[in-house]
Amino acid sequence: MGAVISNENVGEISLQNELLQRLAGRIPLNSNDPYWNKLFSFNFNLDQQSRKIQSNFLENINPILEQLMHNTRETGNIATLIKTFNRRCGELEASAKCENKIFIWQASNALLIIRYISVFLAQRLSPTEFTNIFGNRGSLYETKKSENNEIDDDDEENLDENTSDSKEGSGHHFESAAEHFLVNLLRILTRIQVNKITIQLHAETLRVLLALLSTELYEDGVHERSVFLRILMLKVERALRAGSNDTMIGEGSTGLNFWCKIKVKTELFARFTLPLLLAQKMGVK
């Protein structure tokens, strides 16, 4: 967002930031636009342990998140945000190895933006609606497009992006942008080493995973299971192994080590982070 977000200016960020207004606006964005580099370039210095500061921050960004939720059904800007992140994930592992701090920093910031959007949507949409908004422009856009019965240059480019982004270099085909995004998050946790440069990237990845799997926390009665949880349980293993030298559990020590990484990080996540979220939901201080 090209700014420093701190305790002092928390009340101004959403109203005065043109980059956020553009994301939430009524004009569709292109995933190749240099705009994304600007959006992902900011320093987030809020005290995330302070409930008062976080509450104040959420109160101030809620209007722009509300605007984004409604407009993205026509513009598809959330889907484009996810597409942009998915594309960058292909370079994350190499960037971590060569200590490309700026690229890792921008990826962490992209996940932070996605996290706040995801929490907001998870509280207001059904699990299916929540998942679908990650990968399409919504019914209003598709209706207008079919009425016009035309495909301009931008639309052709978007169609090409959808085709290429649904596949990896290994040839694995993702059934949805949500699946592609979830696999990329788990690849960050299992393939990128934790160090002083990547620790924030890992932290934001875990927070986004929690947000994606939290839809059932906001329902009085669970009428629909989390789509992200279903993807995680049924489809992720094959996608994670695509293009990797890792083998399945029981087929060698490499595969065992690969899945141990997920197990250890998931257990730490469940033991420390999830209870805090549940306590906050129930009003326990």
pLDDT in tens, 117-171: 999 998 888 888 888 888 764 434 443 443 444 434 444 444 444 444 555 544 5
Burial class (CB in 10 A: 0-12, 13-18, 19+), 13: buried
The set of residues, in sequence order, having a beta carbon less than 8 Å from that of 229 and lying 6+ positions away, is 213
Residues 19-70 have pLDDT tens digits of: 999 999 999 999 999 999 999 998 888 777 788 888 888 888 999 999 999 9
In a domain, 171, yes or no: no
**Residue 249 within any structural domain of the chain:** no
Rounded to whole angstroms, the Cα distance separating 95 from 79 reads: 24
In a domain, 271, yes or no: no
Work out how many domains the chain is built from and give that number.
Answer: 1
Q: Decide if 125 is inside a domain.
A: yes
Which amino acid is residue 210, in one-letter code? L
Token pair in block for residue 76: 């598809």
Tell me if the pTM is above 0.85. no
- Closest C-alpha among 244, 275, 274 to residue 259: 244
Residue 272 lies in a domain: no
Q: 109 with 202: CB under 8 angstroms?
A: no
Q: Is residue 234 part of a domain?
A: yes
Question: Which domain range does residue 65 map to?
Answer: 4-163+177-239
pLDDT tens digits, 253-269: 444 454 555 555 555 55
Residue 273 domain flag: no
pLDDT at 140: 41
**Dmax of the chain from CA atoms?**
56
Instruction: Determine phi and psi for 223, rounding to 5 degrees.
Output: -100, -20
Look up tokens 């700014």; give the residue. Answer: 3
Distance of CA 224 to the CA centre of its chain: 21
Beta-bridge mates of residue 48: none
Whether 169 maps to a domain, the answer reads no
Q: Which residue shows structure tokens 């080590």? A: 257
